[in-house]
Amino acid sequence: MQRGDRPARSGASRPARQDNNRPERSGASRPARPDNNRPARSGASRPARPDNNRPERSGASRPARSGASRLARPDNNRPARPEHSAPRKRRDITADSQILSEIVEIRRREGRSAPKKTKILSLEHEEKYGPIRLNKYISNSGICSRRDADMLIQTGAIQVNGVIITELGTKVLPTDEVRYGDRILQREKPVYLLLNKPKDYITTMDDERDRKHVMELVRGACKERVYPVGRLDKNTTGLLLFTNDGEMTKKLTHPKHGIRKIYYVELNKNLIQADFEKIANGIELSDGEIKVDEIAYTGETKREIGITLHSGKNRIVRRIFEQLGYEVMKLDRVVFAGLTKKDLPRGKYRFLSEAEINILKMTIQ
């Protein structure tokens, strides 16, 4: 049995040998080592290196060796590798801060202080109140796409605050007036919604006395900021239009456009024929004569009246009947600029359809 095949011994260690003069063992004795200068091998089966002058292998193909099994290298001409790499130098934050302070001080003395950045509260705040590119402003107004808006700008068709703008990339603010021809453009896409106003709500954006107002009824309807077109009294019900289209609002409320409105009126007593004819022929009020377009009895009694007019004067329907000694018990606007409250319950709103928007635009032409 060869030395390499002998099994490992187990148990207690072998006692010390007492006789050093014992004869040599016969049989397959272990051969003498040919070279006592060879470095001692670690491990059981690793052969000696035959050639120390062979070219060194590249690091990419050489597997990493653990420290426990590495043999001593016979080549002493190779520089020894350090046991541990030097620790990384840590950044001196204090020194950096002093350098930055010196730079800031120099810039301040030279008058080159960095400009303060505008604090942006939120993305929604920036979209609503911050500057916006002119082509996006025009596109949001609903008249064309951004590409077509660039063409309008380059051809000099757009004015900002009375000045013709031809440079692409120009930015505008919400307070700027942007015109295309004689039309004032709005920053947002036009939105139109119709409310069937209930009683006891005032027509205002806000109220200092904390009374109920119509904006409470359309809150959250859209992200655009809309406002009422015209007004209805607290005790008057019926159609009220909301929009962010300033040009449309201006035309719907201007007397020269004569927007048609129809009201249902309920009086405290019957309207006699003489007073009926006075209203039909025109009646003199404190601020001038007023003529209605049409008046008719609409119910079983003469207390229920239907009246059509174009005037936009304040409380005009109530003042007509109060001038003749009647008290208006109920007043409801059932038609406004061709729009009706069909399928629109009291206190609810709906957005106008494309067909209704087109009718609205034709009405003010």
Residues with catalytic function: 233
CA distance 248 to 278: 34
Q: What angle do CA 177, 180, 183 make, to 5 degrees?
A: 75
CB 166 within 8 A of CB 160: no
User: What tokens were used for 346?
Assistant: 């009291």
User: What tokens were used for 130?
Assistant: 């911050």
CA distance 112 to 104: 9
Q: What are the angstrom distances between the C-alpha of 318 and each of 119, 267, 329, 332?
A: 51, 10, 10, 11
User: What tokens were used for 28?
Assistant: 């397959």
DSSP string computed for 201-269:
-B-SS--TT---BTHHHHTTS-SS--EESS---TTEEEEEEEES-HHHHHHHH-GGG---EEEEEEESS
Q: What are the angstrom distances between the C-alpha of 231 and each of 241, 290, 364?
A: 9, 19, 18
CA distance 288 to 309: 15
Three-state DSSP class for residue 109: helix
Q: How many angstroms from the chain centroid is the CA of residue 172?
A: 19
Cβ atoms within 10 A of the Cβ of 247, count? 16
Residue type, 358: N
Residue 199, phi then psi, degrees to nearest 5: -75, 160
